[in-house]
Chain A
């Protein structure tokens, strides 16, 4: 068994990761040992990353125990880079974490300084100077390369930096020199954020954490107002919103809200948010209070200023859309559906139910029936179809009676068969040809039943199913 990580006190005693546990025990007694749990560590790191979202939305995980934040243009909000570093350190320390912070012009430079150097803040343009003292391990080029560099007498990045790059690239590959250049602050690669970046966001910090619902509501109102002003300025409307509640104890709760059409009406947004909060099965728990709330439009869409038509027809459509939004906010996006036709003659594929706020269009159109025909398709459809025990007088004919849900139905009227063949041109299609019958029983119940398969062609046994019920 080996040690995977040590704390500062243990390091002082001369323990280091990679050491065998027996050695460590021999050296230091008593020794407090915890079994490594990488999964829990990963979860914890994700949580810390969520929490760090308060500083900058652009952030990625760095290895199993680091975070990279792009603080371009946000440091002034926290009193400059020094202030930000101090704030971050203080807060994380309060949560019980030891930290090493480096701020540099490029992500890799900061990474190398934090992991292989002393950390700290690098003034603009001073990356190469600071990085010069770092050992060649900071390149993370693997054991062989590092050994080769050391054998060549190259101990620090400074020594490497002085040498011409071309031969280095020829010897170790261009990725190696590119990495070196980044650590030296000569080139940069943007971070790919772990979460989608908001189009617009508004946030509010509280010196004293707030916990009362009225306070939260008031904060959300201000935020909705701010966010919508931003959206309006750009002629945009939000389609996906996210409210993040940063709790004083470090946990972050995010609530997502989808909208059917671009939205930038503060009152509507606030109402939808409150409904969403109200309908949560697991309500937002302020605990010791929230010290920050952020409201962001994660996805937006262009929305020109609305203009109502004179006859008010636009307003009606808008009112229905608003209702759909409200219902979706309360009961979930999946709960509110609309139907679109599909270009298929298979009854189960002829229609699809999409979330009403999606804009997906169907293919084909609805069959509305010929004049003087009764409805040929049932009002309710079972999926999957329900098996019945049916008895037909002649094999290819309609059933004479059948049992469904333990009730015997005698067929009084019947029309059929309407033969519906499977979509044989689709490779995954394995269904039989079906003969559908529209039937009515002795009590006036009307069913849509089918025989699954043809007696002379498909293998026995051939079964009967109820596919739907007519009004």
Chain B
């Protein structure tokens, strides 16, 4: 305990000494107290944060997580630019404004940029990161590329640091590579807390903090996005009961499904 306090104090001194780091005192919180406390008040504004979807099926959930972060960083009124590679639309579908609205992001505050390849994504991202008036930029390249290296991410970080625009590098179908991002997350969908009659509940994510500039250890969080309050909260660990798909019609009591989230959560035998 003593040690962490020391480190915290030292870190504050460092921030004061290094003007380049001054921007990082400006943070946005997740809204979940425990997580924010661990992050020292949230994530840095005016920086690049990487969010990885480990595989294509996890992409929509990761995009939801990014949307949440965007709203935390930019607020409900901030203007957002979302840069996608055109063929991402074949994989995950088109960004659906009605769905964004129901996540809490007003579609009129969003500008979507669709470009051909990763170099164009980076070009557009740099252009957007240099625009002070934006709340946040989502940069969504698809797959790996040699162009997305340390230099490119550092250039983005610098531009974001100068303007205070927060960038989210949302990466699908790619593994972590060296980058200048402030934090790196890996996100996949997590079973939701069921509502009445076994309906899917609020968007839930399994977010792993893979890397943190200030040296925080890897941690895994189960978070839930609350659209009404525009905040993340820890997903309460409920007793995982599998809901049969047709209880309302059959009227039968739902048995615990072997394939259900309870089973997957506990780890499958064999």
Q: CB of B33 within 8 A of chain A?
A: no
The size bracket of the interface on A is 35 or more
Query: Considering the chains assembled together, what is the distance between the CA atoms of A79 and B131 in angstroms?
Result: 49
Query: Considering the chains assembled together, what is the distance between the CA atoms of A413 and B257 in angstroms?
Result: 11
Is B124 a contact of A327 with CB atoms below 8 Å?
yes
Is A379 a contact of B111 with CB atoms below 8 Å?
no
Interface string of A363-392 (1 = CB under 8 A from B): 000111101101111111111000000001
Query: Considering the chains assembled together, what is the distance between the CA atoms of A369 and B101 in angstroms?
Result: 8
- In the bound complex, residues from chain A placing their C-beta under 8 Å from that of B202 are 374
Query: Considering the chains assembled together, what is the distance between the CA atoms of A316 and B75 in angstroms?
Result: 15
Query: Considering the chains assembled together, what is the distance between the CA atoms of A339 and B201 in angstroms?
Result: 27
Q: CB of B128 within 8 A of chain A?
A: yes
Query: Considering the chains assembled together, what is the distance between the CA atoms of A84 and B114 in angstroms?
Result: 48
Of chain B, the residue at the smallest CB distance from A412 is B260
Q: CB of B245 within 8 A of chain A?
A: yes
User: Is chain B's interface secondary structure helix, strand, loop, or mixed overall?
Assistant: mixed
Instruction: Pick the interface stretch among A8-16, A35-43, A208-216, A329-337.
Output: A329-337
Option from B98, B112, B123, B200 in Cβ contact (under 8 Å) with A413: B200
Say whether, besides A377-B96, A415-B199, A443 and B189 are in contact (CB < 8 Å): yes
Q: CB of B110 within 8 A of chain A?
A: yes
Is A374 a contact of B200 with CB atoms below 8 Å?
yes
Is B201 a contact of A374 with CB atoms below 8 Å?
yes
Query: Considering the chains assembled together, what is the distance between the CA atoms of A301 and B111 in angstroms?
Result: 24
Q: CB of B81 within 8 A of chain A?
A: yes
Is B99 a contact of A366 with CB atoms below 8 Å?
no
Is A339 a contact of B57 with CB atoms below 8 Å?
no
Q: CB of B31 within 8 A of chain A?
A: no
Query: Considering the chains assembled together, what is the distance between the CA atoms of A372 and B97 in angstroms?
Result: 20
Is A444 a contact of B191 with CB atoms below 8 Å?
yes
Option from B57, B110, B133, B199 in Cβ contact (under 8 Å) with A414: B199
Q: CB of A309 within 8 A of chain B?
A: no
Is A445 a contact of B200 with CB atoms below 8 Å?
no
Say whether, besides A375-B203, A412-B259, A320 and B192 are in contact (CB < 8 Å): no
Q: CB of B198 within 8 A of chain A?
A: yes
Within the complex, what minimum Cβ distance (angstroms) separates B95 from chain A? 6
Instruction: Pick the interface stretch among A53-61, A123-131, A350-358, A452-460.
Output: A350-358
Is A393 a contact of B246 with CB atoms below 8 Å?
yes
Interface string of A437-466 (1 = CB under 8 A from B): 011101111100000000000000000000
Q: CB of A286 within 8 A of chain B?
A: no
Within the complex, what minimum Cβ distance (angstroms) separates B31 from chain A? 16
Interface string of A156-192 (1 = CB under 8 A from B): 0000000000000000000000000000000000000
**Interface positions of B from 229 to 247, Cβ below 8 Å from A:** 242-243, 245-246
Query: Considering the chains assembled together, what is the distance between the CA atoms of A438 and B115 in angstroms?
Result: 31
- In the bound complex, residues from chain B placing their C-beta under 8 Å from that of A318 are 133
- In the bound complex, residues from chain B placing their C-beta under 8 Å from that of A338 are 107-108, 110-112
Is A337 a contact of B261 with CB atoms below 8 Å?
no
Is A376 a contact of B194 with CB atoms below 8 Å?
no
New A-B contacts (11) at CB < 8 Å, excluding given A380-B92, A468-B99: A323-B133, A327-B124, A337-B113, A337-B114, A374-B200, A380-B99, A383-B93, A397-B246, A414-B200, A442-B264, A445-B189
* 8 pairs from A and B in contact (CB 8 Å cutoff): A319-B133, A327-B128, A331-B124, A369-B102, A371-B228, A375-B227, A412-B260, A444-B188
B residues contacting A by CB (< 8 A) are: 57-58, 60-61, 63-65, 67, 79, 81, 92-104, 106-108, 110-115, 120, 123-124, 127-128, 131-134, 188-192, 194-195, 197-204, 206, 225, 227-228, 242-243, 245-246, 249-250, 257, 259-261, 263-264
